[in-house]
A and B are shown apart, each in its own frame.
Chain A
Amino acid sequence: MRDVAIIGAGMIPFGRRDEDTLIEMLAYASLKALDDAGLGDKTVDAVYLGNMGGGIIQHQTSIASSLVDRLNLLPAAAETVENGPASGGSAVKNGLLAVASGYYDFVLVVGGEKMREVTGWRATDFVATMTHPEVEYPYGITLPGMAGMFTRLYMEKYGVTREHLLAVSIKNQEMGTLNPYAHVEMALDREGIFDSPHAVVNNPTAADPLHLYDMCPVSDGAAAIVLCPLEMAKKLPKPPVLIAGFGQATDTHTLQERSDPTDLKAVTLSAQKAFEMAKLKPSDIHVAELHDAFTILEIAESEHVGFFKKGEGGKAAASGKTRLGGQIPINLSGGLKARGHPVGATGVAQVVDLTWQLRHELPKNRQVKNAQNGFSINFGGFGNNVVAFVLRRVEQ
């Protein structure tokens, strides 16, 4: 197997993009990544496209075929990869394996989703289609609902408090104000959403015990990367970012069949595999992008991947250990909470943000000084299909 590097990264601002179609968003992000890679007018050998809802929301299938036509990447191989909210991570994995195997040299990976085209009512239903079609979906369960049930158990077992969740909300939305690609560029005021009597109105219960500002927004957006063998990447002007490790693991479809529903086994296993492949440990990581679709997930994932012991993640967030300059800075992009969560784009966007971190290209207020190793978790379903990556800066 060959070592594989990221040589190009691009993203378009997330948010509500009424003016763009899904294919246009995918094309804009792809062109940014291709230009960043310095490939000029050369084509790529293959395209892997992460998308979850084109068939449902846009009533459009074979999206990857449409994209290669629009970009004139013909006759590149092309396919769409669907793995719920981890579609982006799975697309990156497919690109990685295709180059590592020696079959392809240059691969474009792009993820995108256009969710604001429909009402919140429809978007919530679309996301809920990933729940079990017989024993969960008919009852009206939503992903925030699953997170609410998980949070109740996690709070009881590990002593996580609303203060801990609040620390994640405030940190990530603060980082969103510094990220020009973020959907939510609004800092939160603790008093307005927690301490004052107005908090009940400003930050109502959304999925008890979770509140409005514990949730990520519903977003449009796209992100892309270009991959090639490390040896070829070393000849290019920008420092290559090696995909040093990846891991993927699955868990039961329903929460009710997990012997301990607070144990996110697929997160632990995918992270272990990624660290093992990279020959690194959690303490070697300088910056992480975790899948904070709900604030509780940033805390639970930070424990399950090994940054903190079980029960310590909430306290770590509240004490600043996950901020820039802390023990392990998490979601300096603003995370899903502020950058947004166009479901098929998220896994790719996490890798794009880490690539910028490891190339030391971000402004000082978001850049981890001299960052060498990055880590991401892309969480599919309610933790039933998880993809993890370890990235490493390679000096030329």
Chain B
Amino acid sequence: MKKDIAIVAYQCKKCGKLHYPFHDRCLSCKGREFDQIKPQGNARLLTFTRIYNLPWGFDQRYLTLGIAEFENGIKAMGQIKADETTALQVGMMMEPSWEPVRVHAGEEVYGLKFAPLS
């Protein structure tokens, strides 16, 4: 079963600016009260990279990562489900999912993944 995307963004009650991750004071007006907002729909790829020198904890040849913007304006980093033959382009639409992104101390850590929509 597909898991809910467990990220929450914070919209300033005073000026409406959207934040992800959380800040104690709004980055625009310094307001301290926020509404919690869930990401909606698919996401547009803003930038991406494929790295071949991975950090400790990742036992694989490469990792594709990107930042994408959801339909309601939330921007977030995630892993991209694409092999080396997949042609990625800035601006393409991605389907988000909530899946294991690494293993830490024997436990799976969940996070955002994006799959290119053809």
Q: Hey, which bits of chain A sit against chain B, CB under 8 A?
A: 119-122, 124-125, 128, 132, 134-136, 138-142, 144-145, 148-150, 152-153, 156, 204-210, 252, 254-257, 261
Contact = CB atoms under 8 A, between A and B. Distances in A.
A149 B51 CA distance: 10
Interface string B71-104: 0000111110000000000100000000001100
Given A124-B53, A138-B109, A254 B77 contact: yes
Contacts of B77: 135-136, 139, 141, 254, 256
A245 B102 CA distance: 45
A256 B76 CA distance: 7
Contact of B101 (A139, A142, A145): A139
B53 A144 contact: yes
Contacts of B20: 135, 256-257
Given A124-B56, A148-B51, A156-B90, A139 B21 contact: no
A144 B50 CA distance: 10
A135 B21 contact: yes
Given A120-B53, A141-B65, A144-B53, A152 B79 contact: no
B21 A149 contact: no
B47 A125 contact: no
B51 A125 contact: no
Contacts of B109: 138
Contacts, number: 107
Cβ-closest 8 pairs across A and B = A148-B49, A125-B55, A125-B56, A256-B75, A208-B50, A149-B47, A145-B51, A124-B55
Most buried by A among B7, B27, B75: B75
B49 A208 contact: yes
Given A124-B56, A254-B21, A149 B66 contact: yes
Contact of B51 (A142, A257, A261): A142
B63 interface: yes
Interface in B16-64: 19-21, 27, 46-58, 63
